[in-house]
Amino acid sequence: MTALPDQAARRALRHSVPTDRGNANDRLGWVLLLVIGLSPLPLGSNRPAFWAMWGLLLGIVGLVYFISLRLRRSALRISPWRVPELTIPFVLLLAFAVAQILPLGSLGYQPLQALPRGLVLPSASLSLDPATTSLTLLQFATYGLCALLFLQVGYRGSRADRVLGAIFAIIVAYGLLGIVLQGQLSNLLGLPSPGSGPVATGPFVNRNSYATYLAFGLAIGVALTIGQLERSDSRRQRHRRLAAIVLIAGGLFVIGTALIATQSRMGFVAGLVGTLSVTLLALVGRRLGTGIWLGVLAGLLIGTIGMLVFNGGGLLERVGSLETAGDVRTDLYRQVWQMILSSPLVGYGGGTFEGTFPLFHQLPVSPDVVWNKAHSTYLALWAEFGFLFGSLPLLIVLAAAIRLLASRLSGLCLAAIGVIVVAAVHSIVDFSLEIEAVAFIFVAVVFLAIGASLGAADRRQENA
């Protein structure tokens, strides 16, 4: 009996904050959507100037938001310390990035830099290029702030669902843009094609980054469809739900067409694995009948085959050259691995792969190509930060996935898990998550879902 007054006191404390905090988070959600929507336009924001611009903008947004909460004598809906398994590794990663740029040489410490062929480069810091590492630190800090803000937006489930729908619409719009720029829309309408080339890249710097971006949309769209199918609406609302499913299906067709037009082999595979993971996870313990699930799977299969038949010639031709491309990548990865083993504890500095790898580059890796990326985010992290600290981002993503799997698998959680699967698969052989616009979508969906799961848990506790 003594627990009842304590519960009442806790509820009163929760509801003692101003009621307009929800409105502040609504406005915050729209501002963040604006950042998400505009970030792909300048080459996927793959330039230091754009990193600084988005970092400054999000910093201003965060500052205004925190000050407004302070003036209302309110607090964050979700403190970052409510997810310590995510916050602690992230803080350690930021601290190590700071340590990499410190002038340790002036303190009498000589950083160990094991370079090939007897090369010796004077360096007063752990990073061979502290300026570039400073930019990487700025990127990481921007992603951390973005994650914290999306946690607040996601706290209310209905708002999180609306924001996720808006993110899906943004990806559909960029899918349509890629189709138009490539000329596929003219082909669909039977008109002369003004396309700039046979491969769709949209506003991004390359097809693979664009493919990951689109594959995120596939996973989100399938999760939204499953969420609509599971809703128990009245008869009057069924027509609205059917219209929503038709709109989502149209968006999925646009995204799928653009994805195949990228001719990205691993992007296509990552999209398939992501959508299948969403579907199979939703199948476990769900209330839908067997007929509906068979219809969903059949729709995915028929849609995939149809798009491949319609526009998959270039993609299928590239699949035929997979063995040759695999040999090239194997030689590259072997030399990147040698680079990692030469400095396994501290790496060569965040963001320094482009400047450091030429010291290890030799035949049989082609000298006619500038290898400014490791073409594997996992290897790039270990080369730049060492095994221990380079594994922290992987641990953060793994912890986020475990938290989402342990929560009630809503449509939003399914979308986030699908996005994580897509990123994990494609990052094995490419660097899409190193493109800021792609990383923004990843952070937004994952932390929106975590915020929604925490908010739902709080409401269940209040109603207990």
For every residue of 32-74, DSSP letters joined together read HHHHHHHTTTTGGG-SHHHHHHHHHHHHHHHHHHHHHHHHTT-
pLDDT at 50: 94
- The rounded average pLDDT for each run of 10 residues, N- to C-terminus, in the chain (464 residues) is 45 46 86 96 89 96 94 90 96 96 72 62 81 96 97 94 96 93 59 56 90 96 87 68 88 91 90 90 68 64 62 57 66 92 91 90 81 92 96 97 90 95 95 95 97 91 78
Closest C-alpha to 51, from 127, 128, 134: 134
Where does residue 278 rank: exposed (0-12), middle (13-18), buried (19+ CB within 10 A)? Answer: buried
What pTM does this model have?
0.89
pLDDT at 16: 42
Instruction: Return d(Cα 330, Cα 313) in angstroms, integer.
Output: 26
Q: 319: phi > 0 → left, psi -120 to 50 → alpha, else beta; which? A: alpha
Asked whether 143 and 56 are in contact (CB, 8 A), the reply is no
Asked whether 126 and 422 are in contact (CB, 8 A), the reply is no
pLDDT at 196: 44
pLDDT at 297: 66
pLDDT at 184: 57
Where does residue 19 rank: exposed (0-12), middle (13-18), buried (19+ CB within 10 A)? Answer: exposed
pLDDT at 306: 61
pLDDT at 295: 66
Distance, CA of 118 to chain centre: 40
Instruction: Return d(Cα 55, Cα 205) in angstroms, integer.
Output: 20
Instruction: Return d(Cα 452, Cα 304) in angstroms, integer.
Output: 31
Distance, CA of 276 to chain centre: 18
pLDDT at 117: 63
